Each structure stands twice: as structure tokens, then as C-alpha cells.
């Protein structure tokens, strides 16, 4: 392999990708990483191959903020197929039961009220949660079903957008860890007809919207890695919900050495985005017991990085 093909670059930022149906999140990540010739990358929570939509991909220093996207609220546009239950809870699984659909739209809207607010969900067997060191989906593929502990999640909004025959279209805004397949299954059981996810699209995540995202085809059509790197979003854009504090250059020096610094005004507790006067993003801090900003995630300067700094 030639040196030109081995060459990797320090690329920093977040790609807002509109993932297509049929790719795993990791496959999409690897394609984007190859197109950027990026050294370091990670995604922010899997979308099933069946699902499309917003998948933020973090590169370089931006991988340090990926946990905040993992923990962010999300929004989905989903189509539930009423009248059929499948082994996986989605359209990829074998149909294991068919029942007639007799519920009206009003019946469905009343049933949905049971699944708003804080609710308990039993994770599907076809999920990546581990029991005894094994992902549940591996056990399920081996024909093994195990007891799963319910988990608390929050469904902020759950709205019926349309009902055409046996296809129910819904808009769902929810907390991290919410299984849309479980919502479809549980709704189908309440209605007495069964249901599974036929289509799923993530439309929002951590303050980002799918309308801001690029498809892989559009990303690949850009002329070179530098042009692609120019489309990345700065890491601090993923942290818009966290209060921002600006500190002096003098304080910034000590903050970047890992020392807590005084800053005003500070909230009594919680995470902070720290900027040096002039606007450079330094990283994340927490308010310590002495009321100072204590560094927790330092980001090295990414000025001029894009695809200009070779590392390999």
C-alpha cells in the first residue's frame, strides 16, 4: 500500500450524518472516517440498520464530548405496523403472531397516554444490553430468552401523526435508553392486535436536527478530505445545553494545566463549558466544593487542524 493511502490526519469536529437504511452505525462511521482520512473517530449511540436519520460522528478531540450526545434526549419519526408481532420487534424479524386490528385512532391516542412521562420498559431480547457478559441479541439468536429487569425512561412527547389501514405514524421525543421497538410492542399489546416497528427515522438529538445533516453520498461528493473536514461542526456545538463561562488568559493557563480556577459568575453545581477570552473553547469543567471551575475534559487546540495536520 502506498504512503498516500496510509496517510491519516488529525481531524476534529462532529459530522452530522443522515445515516441510510441498511448500514450499521459502525459501517457508516468507518465510511466517513475513510472519506476524511481521519485518525480517531467514534459514533454517539447506535442506530439499527433498519433505521435512518441523524447520527452524529465525533472525530479527534470531539470524541471527548461524545458521552454528552449519548446521554442526550432524542426524537424519532416511526411507523408501527399494527396487527403483527415479530421476533425482533421490527420489520427484520419473523412474524410470530398476526391479529386483527379493531382500534380506532381515538383508541390509539388514549392508549398512548399510558406511555408518556416516566415509564418502565423491559428491554427487547434483540438489544445490545449484556447479561452474564453476553449481549441479549446473541442469546436471542441462540433461541434463549432471559428475564430482563425493567428500566426507567421518559417519553416527553408521543403524538399520532397518521393512521392509514394498519400503518400508524407517530412522533416520539424521549430520553436516552428508550426502545422504540418496546413502545411499539407494548402499544400493540394494549390494543390487543400486536405491533412492530416498520420504519424508524431519528430526527433530533442533543439539540441537532436531521435537516442539518449530510448524507453519505453528499459527503463523498465533496472534492477532498479538506472540503469534508470543513463541514464538521465544532465540538462545543454538542454542549449547547451546558452553561458557558469565559475566563482570562491567565486563568486559562492554569486551567489547561489541570488546575481548578476561580470564575464569575458560577452556578452552585454542575457542568460548565469553559472558554478563554477571545472565544477559544478549552473544555469542560465541574463546579467543585470550593466554588471553582475544576477541569474534567480538556480539549487541545484544534485551530487549523481540519485535515492539515498529518499524524501517520
In this prediction the pTM is 0.87
**Cell numbers placing 83:** 396487527
Class of domain 237-298: mainly beta
CA–CA gap between residue 32 and residue 257 (Å, rounded): 33
What is the structure's pLDDT at 136?
A: 56
Q: Are 73 and 173 in contact (CB under 8 A)?
A: yes
Q: Is 18 one of the catalytic residues? A: no
Of residues 48, 186, 236, 306, which has the active-site annotation?
Answer: 48
Other beta carbons within 10 angstroms of residue 219's beta carbon come to: 19
Instruction: Kindly list the averaged pLDDT for each block of 10 residues, start to end, along the chain of length 312.
Output: 63 96 94 95 86 96 92 96 94 94 97 95 66 60 66 96 97 95 95 97 95 96 95 94 93 95 88 94 93 92 40 32
Helix (H) or strand (E) holding 281: strand 280-287
Confidence (pLDDT) at 192: 97
Dist. CA 89–CA 123, nearest whole Å = 11
The confidence score (pLDDT) of residue 295 equals 95
Is the separation of the CB atoms in 140 and 208 below 8 Å?
Answer: no
pLDDT of 304? 35
Residue 35: its pLDDT value, please? 96
* pLDDT score, position 8: 84
Dihedral over Cα of 70, 120, 183, 138: its sign? positive
Nine cell digits for residue 298: 480538556
Annotated domain spans of the chain: 74-205, 237-298
Tell me, which fold does domain 74-205 have in CATH? Pseudouridine synthase (3.30.2350)
Other C-beta atoms lying within 10 Å of the C-beta of residue 191: 21
Amino acid at each position: 500500500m502506498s504512503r498516500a493511502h496510509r496517510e491519516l490526519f488529525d481531524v476534529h469536529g462532529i459530522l452530522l450524518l443522515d445515516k441510510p437504511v441498511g448500514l450499521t452505525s459502525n459501517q457508516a462511521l468507518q465510511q466517513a472516517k475513510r472519506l476524511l482520512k481521519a485518525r480517531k473517530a467514534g459514533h454517539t449511540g447506535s442506530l439499527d440498520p433498519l433505521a435512518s436519520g441523524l447520527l452524529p460522528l465525533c472525530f479527534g478531540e470531539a470524541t471527548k464530548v461524545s458521552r454528552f450526545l449519548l446521554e442526550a434526549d432524542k426524537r424519532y419519526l416511526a411507523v408501527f405496523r399494527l396487527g403483527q408481532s415479530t421476533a425482533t420487534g421490527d420489520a427484520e424479524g419473523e412474524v410470530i403472531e398476526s391479529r386483527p386490528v379493531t382500534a380506532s385512532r381515538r383508541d390509539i391516542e388514549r392508549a398512548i397516554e399510558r406511555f408518556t412521562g416516566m415509564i418502565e420498559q423491559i428491554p427487547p431480547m434483540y438489544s445490545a444490553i449484556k447479561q452474564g457478559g453476553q449481549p441479549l441479541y446473541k442469546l436471542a439468536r441462540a433461541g434463549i430468552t432471559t428475564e430482563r429487569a425493567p428500566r426507567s425512561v421518559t417519553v416527553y412527547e408521543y403524538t399520532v401523526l397518521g393512521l392509514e389501514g394498519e400503518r400508524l405514524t407517530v412522533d416520539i421525543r424521549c430520553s436516552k435508553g428508550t426502545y422504540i421497538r418496546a413502545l411499539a410492542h407494548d402499544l400493540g399489546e394494549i390494543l390487543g392486535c400486536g405491533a412492530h416497528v416498520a420504519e424508524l427515522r431519528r430526527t433530533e438529538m442533543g439539540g441537532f436536527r436531521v435537516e442539518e445533516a449530510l448524507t453519505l453520498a453528499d459527503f463523498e461528493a465533496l472534492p477532498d478530505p479538506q472540503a469534508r473536514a470543513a463541514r464538521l461542526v465544532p465540538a462545543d456545538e454538542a454542549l449547547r445545553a451546558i452553561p458557558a463561562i469565559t475566563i482570562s488568559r491567565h486563568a486559562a493557563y492554569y486551567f489547561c494545566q489541570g488546575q481548578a480556577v476561580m470564575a464569575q459568575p458560577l452556578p452552585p453545581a454542575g457542568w460548565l463549558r469553559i472558554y478563554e477570552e477571545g472565544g477559544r473553547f478549552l473544555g469542560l469543567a465541574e463546579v467543585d466544593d470550593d466554588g471553582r471551575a475544576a477541569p474534567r475534559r480538556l480539549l487541545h487546540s484544534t485551530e487549523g487542524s481540519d485535515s492539515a495536520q498529518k499524524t501517520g
